[in-house]
Amino acid sequence: MSIRNFYYKDILDKLHINVHVFRTGKYKSAIEPITRNGPSKEIKKENLKIINFLWKQYLKKISINRNIKIEKICPYLNKKIFRFKDINEDMTKYTKNNKLVDYVLSNKNINNILRKKFSELTNNEKYKLINIYEYKLKLFNNTKKNEFPSIGIITNDGSILNDIHNKNAINISTTISKIKSAKKDKNIKALIFFINSPGGTLSESEKIRKELNNFKKSKKPLIILMGGTTASGGYWISTAGDYIISSPTTITGSIGIFNYFYTLEKSLKSLGIYYDNTAISNFTDNNVFHDISPELKKFIEFHMNINYKKFLEIVAKSRHKSIEEIEKIAEGKIWTGYQAKKIGLVDQLGNLDDAIKKASEITNLKNFHIKFIYTKKNTILSNFLFLQTNKFIEQKFLNMFQMYFPVFSKKNIHAFKFNKDLIYIMNNENKEYLYSLNNRNFIK
């Protein structure tokens, strides 16, 4: 495992680009690539701690699951010279001999092995195999879905930016619509809000946090489930949760704020270009063609400190700690989920199953549906355009889908819709199915 970064200080200096940096917390590392030619000692030390922990967890998980000693997994990483002769230059044999895999097989032999294995377990020599795509899943009982309590799930993956065209960013307006939908839905008794984000702008993070707090007015429990990374703005949002769950290897924390922008007065000067602006106040004259005024610098620093103080306050209130306690673990420091549990930034280590279990415990639900919340097109115009442009495509898609999955005939499909990577099917018995094009699998 490794943490890699490019650093641009020298190239920015050579291009005479003036970088104005404002930040709270000496461990806020996101700004270092433009201010340094390498990581600071503090950040290097923190990065080493993080990857060493993640690596140990990785080896530990393999060791437990494969029932082998940790030293046997990657011994060559600890040797100066790895002798391929020891394994006859065959990595496949190496993995088999060290129990990293159970079998080395061709595709033709896999089914025979599986058939034999399950025949032994069931004492049935004629044990049959069935393809997952032909397996008919019974996801709901005969109770109508609209009359059954549900635990809602909203998923979010990406940076928190005000940029709807950025594929790597969370769509803020869509997320807010989902939260409002969960609040209005009487059948949703609790909400699991999954977030996997390195952070983003404070203003957009606050919009989501504010809407989640508004959701809590419905008296429905809110469980935050962290993904691989839920830091900075991601943690800002997480503070709205009644209960926070992360995995041991989640990267979280980074309680701090930074901002930066460029001015080009030095670049222009090197080309013989000069800029002047006569204005009522230097405070309001802010553009890339000249250095920022001392008044504006003071204002930005003042504003940053206010927002950092607010960050500390909402974390302290959420985690039932004093501001002084939060200050000790803030300053932009990042923590693994395991560490975050110890210092009180999260409540539990776990996964989606644990989040569902916690939601059912809080709400005393024994029988419930899991409902992934998606937004619907609301306006008449958008509905009309959607239907007209997608009617032909959906029909073709349905025909193709039925070719691969004959279990869904035209007679037993009541509704069929697709959206990006998901296909939604409802049969005549009101049983619902979701098929993921990404995973090529049915999901419950």
pLDDT score for 247: 94
Question: Of 372, 394, 420, which closes a domain?
Answer: 372
pLDDT score for 382: 42
The boundaries of the domain holding residue 393 are 378-443
Q: Pick the more confident residue, 90 or 392.
A: 90
- Considering its fold, how many domains does the chain have in total? 2
Clarify whether 232 is annotated catalytic: yes
Residue 442: pLDDT band by 50, 70, 90 thresholds?
Answer: low
Query: Does 271 reside within a domain?
Result: no
Query: Does 341 reside within a domain?
Result: yes
Catalytic residue among 28, 207, 358, 431: 28
By CB atoms closer than 10 A (0-12, 13-18, 19+), residue 135 is exposed
pLDDT in tens, 160-185: 998 877 888 999 999 999 999 999 99
- CATH number, domain with residue 201: 3.90.226.10
pLDDT in tens, 66-88: 999 888 787 666 554 555 555 56
Unique residue bearing structure tokens 């409902």:
371
pLDDT score for 380: 42
Cα separation of 376 and 371, whole Å? Answer: 14
Asked if residue 215 and residue 360 are part of one domain, the reply reads yes
Query: Does 171 reside within a domain?
Result: yes
Considering only 96-100, 369-373, 409-413, which range has the smallest mean pLDDT? 409-413
Query: Does 136 reside within a domain?
Result: no
pLDDT score for 94: 78
Asked if residue 365 and residue 439 are part of one domain, the reply reads no
pLDDT in tens, 111-124: 778 777 777 766 66
Query: Which residues, 6 or more positions from 336, have their beta carbon under 8 angstroms from its beta carbon?
Result: 50, 53, 54, 248, 249, 250, 251, 252
Cα separation of 350 and 347, whole Å? Answer: 10
Asked if residue 346 and residue 207 are part of one domain, the reply reads yes
Asked if residue 227 and residue 162 are part of one domain, the reply reads yes
Query: Does 217 reside within a domain?
Result: yes
Asked if residue 365 and residue 230 are part of one domain, the reply reads yes
What letter represents residue 277's amino acid?
Answer: N
pLDDT at 393 over 80: no
Asked if residue 393 and residue 417 are part of one domain, the reply reads yes
Percent of the residues in the chain that have a pLDDT greater than 90, as a whole number: 45
Clarify whether 28 is annotated catalytic: yes
In this structure, what token pair is assigned to residue 168? 């790597």
The count of other CB atoms within 10 Å of the CB of residue 434 is 15
For the residues 245-251, what does the mean pLDDT come to?
94
Query: Does 359 reside within a domain?
Result: yes
Query: Does 280 reside within a domain?
Result: no
Asked if residue 410 and residue 358 are part of one domain, the reply reads no
Query: Does 236 reside within a domain?
Result: yes
pLDDT score for 443: 54
Residue 189: pLDDT band by 50, 70, 90 thresholds?
Answer: very high
Cα separation of 126 and 111, whole Å? Answer: 13
Asked if residue 244 and residue 212 are part of one domain, the reply reads yes
Percent of the residues in the chain that have a pLDDT greater than 70, as a whole number: 74
Cα separation of 434 and 11, whole Å? Answer: 50
Considering only 117-126, 228-237, 304-313, 319-328, which range has the smallest mean pLDDT? 117-126
Cα separation of 104 and 334, whole Å? Answer: 41
The count of other CB atoms within 10 Å of the CB of residue 361 is 12
DSSP for 281-297, please give it.
Answer: -TTT---TTSPPPHHHH
For the residues 292-302, what does the mean pLDDT come to?
86
Q: What is the mean pLDDT of the chain?
A: 82
Question: Of 349, 372, 395, which closes a domain?
Answer: 372
pLDDT at 390 over 70: no
pLDDT score for 396: 56
Catalytic residue among 150, 159, 232, 318: 232
pLDDT score for 322: 95
Asked if residue 439 and residue 338 are part of one domain, the reply reads no
Asked if residue 428 and residue 340 are part of one domain, the reply reads no
Asked if residue 156 and residue 229 are part of one domain, the reply reads yes
Asked if residue 246 and residue 160 are part of one domain, the reply reads yes
